[in-house]
Amino acid sequence: MRILFVAESVPGSRSLQRLEALRQLGHSVRFVPSTPEGHSCERAPSLAYRISYRLRVPFDLAGVNAALAGLDARQFDLALFDNARTVRRRTLQAMKAANPDLALVWISEDDMVNPRHLTRWLAAAIPQFDLWVTTKSFNAEPGEMPARGARRVLFVNNSYDPSLHRPLAINAGERARFGADISFVGTFEAPRAASLLRLARAGLTCRVWGNGWGGLVGAHPGLVVENKPVYGEDYVRVLCASKINLCFLRHFNRDRQTTRSIEIPACGAFMMHERSDEMAALLPSEYAAAYFGDDDELVAQCRRWLADDAGRAAVAAAGRARVRDLGLGHGEVLERVLAAAKSPS
Q: Is the pTM of this model over 0.85?
A: yes
pLDDT digits (tens, 9 = 90+) for 235-263: 999 999 999 999 999 998 999 999 999 99
Chain centroid offset of residue 11 CA = 13
Kindly tell me the burial class for residue 219, based on how many C-beta atoms sit within 10 Å of its own C-beta (0-12, 13-18, 19 or more). middle
For 172-325, which CATH superfamily applies?
A: Glycogen Phosphorylase B; (3.40.50.2000)
Characterize 143-156 residue by residue with b for buried, 16 or more Cβ atoms within 10 angstroms of its Cβ, and e for exposed.
ebbbebebebbbeb
What's the chain's average pLDDT?
Answer: 95
Output the pLDDT for position 41: 53
Intrachain domains 2-159+329-342 and 172-325 with the same fold: yes
Phi, psi of 95, rounded to the nearest 5 degrees: -65, -45
At 11, the pLDDT band (50, 70, 90 cuts) reads confident
Topology of domain 2-159+329-342 in CATH is Rossmann fold (3.40.50)
The mean per-residue pLDDT over the stretch 47-57 comes to 81
Domain boundaries, the chain: 2-159+329-342, 172-325
> Per residue in 60-104, pLDDT tens?
989 999 999 999 999 999 999 999 999 999 999 999 999 999 999
- Listed in sequence order, the residues at least 6 apart from 335 whose beta carbon sits closer than 8 Å to its beta carbon are 25
